[in-house]
Amino acid sequence: MSELSIAVPDVLGDVPDAVERLFAVIHTLSSDGQITLDLTLVNWIRPYAAVSLLQACRYLKQLTRYPVHLTGLQSNIHAYLRRIDFFQREAEVVYTSVPFNSADDLARSTSSSNVLELFPIRIHEDIYEVATRARHILAYWLSSSSYDIDNIVTLLSEACSNIVDHSGDAGIVIIQKYDRGYYVDINLAIGDLGMGIRRSLMVVHGAVSDTCAGYIELALAGLSARSGERGGQGLGAIRRIATESGGCLYIRSEMGSVLAEASGIVTRDDLCFFPGTQIAITFRSKRAI
Amino acid sequence: MKRFELTRLFAQLGIAGPDLLLRGYGQRAFPMLEHILKEIPPGQALVLDFAGISVMDTSFADETVLELALGLSQGKYGDRWMVLEEPSPATIDNLEGTIARRKAKVALLIRREGQMRLIGHVEPNLMEAWQLVCEQTSLTARELADQIGLEINTASTRLRKLYDARLLARREEITFEGRQHIYMLPI
């Protein structure tokens, strides 16, 4: 069995667009033998990158049939990945041989934790389950704002339901809090390796755009992958809630991406192919002063 | 008036609450809610009580509340009304977003903290008439015409449109001047 070791660039702590360098690396790999991803250069990791890394490992496992080996984990990266159940969630897909002292594990208590670990989304009941868990931890994070908590639950349900209803794959979601002084950013990251937005819309509507980003824009505008009259509400609702809060929505699918902010959208259609849909949502909650 | 506590859907849908989420669950809830609406006597309103519901998401609202409202405004359920009582602010945002994205020409009656209001699609002149009825408890076309300086036919049309949209109720009255309708809120 051949082994190939690839250095992952230090982009996992950056904005979602920067994570494209990870997908570019994945895109170059062939299907021969085991893949080792060397994370020596990686100094920080954020939720969208964690979901992307896990989906990349799932994709490589599908290509090579071997689980991906992660090496070079710095202790803070290793602790974070353990905290979000990265290795536990997809044990047959990714593993590490880097030693770790469990005494260095990050705290898991609801009151001190800033993250809701990776949660699999396979069926609708999973969405109710993750919404319940999210409500529990959001009550600690955003104690004064039931309005913000309700909005985040809506973001979760609308984003995750697209996985179950349209992707044809199981997905994954993670939620993390970042304190920013006068406000709190809640980051949601959701990913799957399913049909992607372009293909799911083409099944119903045919070729209605020339680009992957064009299909994402159509989905944001309300075009539904359901054959009936109704549907197509979800991404538009996510965009409204995220941008009205002062946050943003980033959607990547196949070779296109759309970043939606209050000021407008930025599209890209020059990305390396990666299957499915990856989403990063930032919801901004103002602190009561 | 019949009140239905939406928390009763938790058991019927097999969910723990406090949220009503997802299109599929909305599709399952719709026949139950439609049955309850059809069961109330003509001339009465169904009050959907949101107490205990933290949020109803966009997709659930699209399959339930919006479908019922469209059916009411199309006359599918006869002389019946629907009032949403105490939906959370996030639920109201979701309902308004659903109506806007679907470009549905429909409005919803909301009662929150004792105050009635409309959300959704309402033409400004109809909103003005509805607010006058709301402030004065009841209004005839003649009274509306006199108060805002309209032709009686125009005032009558506006009130009739609000009645057809099931945003106002009305009763008929025979006076020495003839027959007239008195318009009022349905609850």
A273 to chain B, closest Cα gap in Å? 30
Kindly state the average pLDDT of the residues B39-59. Answer: 96
d(CA B114, CA A142): 28
The superfamily CATH assigns to domain A107-289 is Histidine kinase-like ATPase, C-terminal domain (3.30.565.10)
> A196-227 burial by CB neighbour count: b if 16+ within 10 A, else e?
bbbbbbbeeeeeebebbbbbbbbbbeebbbee
The boundaries of every CATH 3.30.565.10 domain in chain A are 107-289
Task: Report the gap between the CA of A95 and the closest CA in chain B (Å).
Answer: 34
User: B54: which chain A residues are within 8 Å (Cβ-Cβ)?
Assistant: 135, 146, 149-150, 153
Q: A282 pLDDT band (50/70/90 cuts)?
A: very high
Res A289 pLDDT > 60: no
Give ranges for CATH 3.30.750 in chain A.
1-97
Residue-level pLDDT at B35: 97
| Residue among A150, A161, A222 whose CB faces B90 most closely | A150
Q: Which of residues 223 through 242 in chain A touch B, CB cutoff 8 A?
A: 230-234, 236-237, 240-241
Q: Which residues of A touch B65 (CB under 8 A)?
A: none
Say yes or no to pLDDT of A27 above 90. Answer: no
Checking if the pLDDT of A170 tops 70, the result is yes
- B126 or B179, which is more confident? B126
User: Per-residue pLDDT averaged across B162-172, rounded?
Assistant: 95
Contact A151 B21 (CB under 8 A): no
pLDDT score of A144 = 67
Please state the rounded mean pLDDT for residues A251-256: 97
ipTM: 0.91
Percentage of chain A lying above the pLDDT 70 cut: 97
| Residue A122 contacts B where some CB pair is shorter than 8 Å | no
What confidence tens digit (pLDDT) does each residue in A5-19 have?
999 999 999 999 999
Q: Give the class (CATH, top level) of A1-97.
A: alpha beta
pLDDT digits (tens, 9 = 90+) for A93-125: 999 999 988 888 887 776 668 889 999 999 999
> Given 1.10.490.10, 3.30.200.20, 2.60.120.1130, 1.10.10.10, which CATH number is that of B122-187?
1.10.10.10
CB contact under 8 A, B54 and A231: no
Query: Is the pLDDT assigned to residue A67 strictly greater than 90?
Result: yes
Residue B21 has its nearest CB partner, among A149, A151, A157, at A157
Looking at residue A181, its pLDDT comes to: 87
A163/chain B closest Cα distance in angstroms: 12
Query: Does residue A209 carry a pLDDT above 60?
Result: yes
Which pLDDT band holds residue B37 (cuts at 50, 70, 90)? Answer: very high
The secondary structure of chain B, three-state, reads: CEEEECCHHHHHHCCCCCEECCHHHHHHHHHHHHHHHHHCCCCCEEEEECCCCCEECHHHHHHCHHHHHHHHHCCCCCCCEEEEECCCHHHHHHHHHHHHHHCCCCEEEEEECCEEEEEECCCHHHHHHHHHHHHHCEEEHHHHHHHHCCCHHHHHHHHHHHHHCCCCEEEEEEECCEEEEEEECCC
Chain A residues in contact with B69 (beta carbon < 8 A): none
Mutate to test the interface with B, among A121, A154, A163 (most CBs of B within 10 A): A154
pLDDT tens digit sequence for B81-96: 999 999 999 999 999 9
Q: CA-nearest residue of chain B to A224? A: B102
Residue A77 pLDDT > 70, yes or no?
A: yes
pLDDT > 90? residue A178: yes
Q: What is the mean pLDDT of chain B?
A: 95
Query: Is A165 within 8 Å of B23 when comparing Cβ atoms?
Result: yes
How many residue contacts between A and B have a Cβ separation below 8 Å? 87
Q: Is the pLDDT of residue A216 over 90?
A: yes
Which residues in chain B have their CB less than 8 angstroms from residue A230's CB?
Answer: 23, 62-63, 102
Which of A121, A125, A150 best probes binding to B when mutated, by most B CB atoms within 10 angstroms? A150
Res. B176 pLDDT band, cuts 50 70 90: confident
Average pLDDT over residues B169-178: 88
